[in-house]
Amino acid sequence: MVSLLLAAGASTRMKSKYPKVIHPLCGKPMIQWVLDAVSEVTNNVCVVVGHQAERVKEVLPSGVEVAYQLEQLGTAHAVMSAREFLDPSDDVLILYGDMPLVRGETLKRVIQAHRSKDCDVTVVSIESPDPTGYGRIIRDSQGRFVKIVEEFDASEQEKRIKEINTGVYVFKGKKLLEVLPKIKCDNNKKEYYLTDAVGLLEKVNVHKEEEVEDFSGINNRVQLAEAEKIQRMRILRKLMLEGVTIIDPANTYIDGDVKIGKDTVVHPMTFIEGRTIIGEDCIIGPMTRIVDCVIEDSVSVVRSECVGAHIMSGVSVGPFSRLREGTVLHSKVKIGNFVEVKNSKIGSNTKAQHLTYLGDSQIGENVNVGAGTITCNFDGKKKNQTVIEDDVFIGSNTALVAPVRIKKGAFVAAGSTITQEVPEWSLAIARARQENKLNWVLRKKEKEEG
């Protein structure tokens, strides 16, 4: 079994400067969803590219072969462009790169139907309430297959037929290679139709699928949004059946490559994206965005944004926190409201509860970071590191001017600006001495009134 994905078209209806098949759907280019489904039936895959071929190639995984259709002259012409990939001894599965809802289990049924009938080609059809734009399956009075008519060439009577050609086929490789050279472009669009290859073969099996959604093609942004909604609900259903609680599926957005452990609860208006991995017994959301993070067990992330962070077990984040790339939070760390962490490693049991920025920092265990603390990590040319060792207390409203080190057990007084190393178990005070001028307000008032 080999598979051929047709992805060469320009798709003007998307109104986009990008190729249609690279538009994202639930976190992946739509063509990747097709490739994922196809990978369940074969590892021998070729994608036919044409319009903006290099952009399409950029999103294809390694191991996928590429064929070029230099002119877009129809579906049969696209298959002809990949003739070197085809072998007479193979079965050939052909489908489109803009069909992201197709599933491996559905393709397995199609292939089984093809092989059980020992036919030259299997055509996959569905009943569509709105067949506009699709080729119609024409049958005789006994229900036997006669031909496929493209809509552009169909009569008014034929256009009323609801059974449509999905564009998914399984050919015997030998038969396909025999008929490809015989296909002509004597139709209204002057294109080489793959449906004509079907008409040239003797043993044609029409496999009618009940899973209509699987064969939805994407031609515009409305259809893309509709497909995303379907795919998103499939993802959420799978997670719920695996033991994840999703409070409000209609308002939860989880990408296809996300993994979540059992007994984790996901609250509404939460976005979990990329290749995020979340462990068991976590509380995520509401109003939270997590991208490409690793989150271990028993973590709470509430009303926060986390991108590229590693959060270990027992950590609490939020509300209104921001974790940026390179953040590592060890067990039982507490990151509170309006705290931002970037490219920093924070040791176990450390707390930064309020209004704090920790950038390019190495922070030890059992550290208390007071409200309003910032690491001044950028000197105008490069980023510098702040090191805070174990058991340090940082008072509120402290500025740590990097590069700087606060050694074990030290205490930094509130309101300090620290520019030098603080020794172990020392108190650092770096602020102007307070001066009280008695009755200054009264004297100023008397002067203004007089």
- Say if residues 407 and 424 touch (Cβ distance below 8 Å): yes
**Alpha-carbon torsion, ordered 330, 336, 341, 344, to 10 deg:** -20
Which residues 6+ apart lie within 8 Å of 61 measured at CB?
32, 35
How many residues are there in the chain?
A: 450
Q: Which DSSP letter does residue 92 get?
A: E
Residues with catalytic roles:
354
With tokens 């080190």, the residue in question is: 405
Cα(233)–Cα(253) distance, integer angstroms: 9
Alpha-carbon distance 292 to 327, whole Å?
12
Q: Residue 166, class by beta-carbon neighbours within 10 Å (0-12 exposed, 13-18 middle, 19+ buried)?
A: buried
Contact (CB, 8 A) for 213 and 231? no
Contact (CB, 8 A) for 108 and 93: no
